Amino acid sequence: MINMEITLLLAKMFGAYFVIMGLAIFMRKQEWKQFFHEFMDNKHVSFVLGFFVLILGMILVSMHNVWDGGFNATLITVFSWTALLKGVSFFLLPKTIFSKWIKFFLNKGFNSWVVGVFVVGLYLLMFGYGVI
């Protein structure tokens, strides 16, 4: 059974996060690129971040694991599972895989990713606040 209040709350939270991060990365592109490079060089920061993302992902999946509640509810569930899998991957995947992903992201997919994050964030905010 779907709890629409949780879906709407998470849509607002994910939406605001995506819009803020999209704008922040767009407006301070070079600083964020440097941050990602430094992040990959510091294994301790990766583990600490992985721990927090893992806990957050477990909470999100526990709160919202709805696959049959329509497109928007399923989208929130996908983002919840993505957070959980990202947290797990910080501990299980070798650093080389992350390094390759970061290099691809910073060189080829950066602008597309930033725009995509921003647009998805706007969509989720509009859904969460009942505009669409």
Tens of pLDDT along 42-98?
A: 778 878 888 999 999 999 999 999 999 899 999 999 999 999 999 998 888 877 777
SS3 70: coil
Q: How many domains does the chain have?
A: 1
Domain residues for the domain of 29 are: 4-128
Rounded-to-integer distance, Cα 97 and Cα 74, Å: 28
Predicted TM-score (pTM) of this structure: 0.86
Q: Which residue has the higher pLDDT, 60 or 29?
A: 60
Q: Which residue has the higher pLDDT, 59 or 2?
A: 59
The answer to whether residue 1 scores a pLDDT higher than 60 is no
Quote the pLDDT of residue 104: 78
Please state the separation of Cα 52 from the chain's center in Å.
Answer: 13
Looking at the chain, list the stretches that DSSP marks H as alpha helix, in order from N- to C-terminal side: 4-27, 29-41, 43-63, 71-92, 95-104, 110-128
Quote the pLDDT of residue 106: 75
Residue 111: which pLDDT band, with cuts at 50, 70 and 90?
A: confident
Q: Please count the other Cβ atoms lying within 10 Å of the Cβ belonging to residue 7.
A: 23
